[in-house]
Structure 1
Amino acid sequence: MEAYDGREAYGEDRYVTIGMDKESDTLYVCYTMRSSESSTRLISVRCAERHECQLYEQQKLW
């Protein structure tokens, strides 16, 4: 599940992805694309919170 993160003005476009790793943990990843669009900069990776896990599970059903 991937979406544009438009919550705050960071001076750059940020995106979030929620997905599972190989141990079946649900992760929340935030990243941005560099101006050249050829590189990606990770901003944060963490375990997803409960409501984020629920969003991911609902999306998987569609």
Structure 2
Amino acid sequence: MADQPEVRTDKITVPQRLDANHVRALAMQKAQHKVRRGHKVRDLHLGDSNPVGGQDVEWSYTYRVV
């Protein structure tokens, strides 16, 4: 029986000027850095964004580890 993929959530803070595609790419890099060697990040989805002061925005995102 194959292992079930693990679903994780996280947040990333970025400058407000970045578009969603750029934010998604940065979130993917952050997620890949957090998974163990030999595992991969799949199906990353951006969630809500909220201003966190100044010119920054905090985005939530979810992804699967397989």
Superposed pair shares fold, TM > 0.5: no
Normalising TM by the smaller chain, what interval?
0.3 to 0.5
Scaled by the length of structure 1, what TM-score is found? 0.33
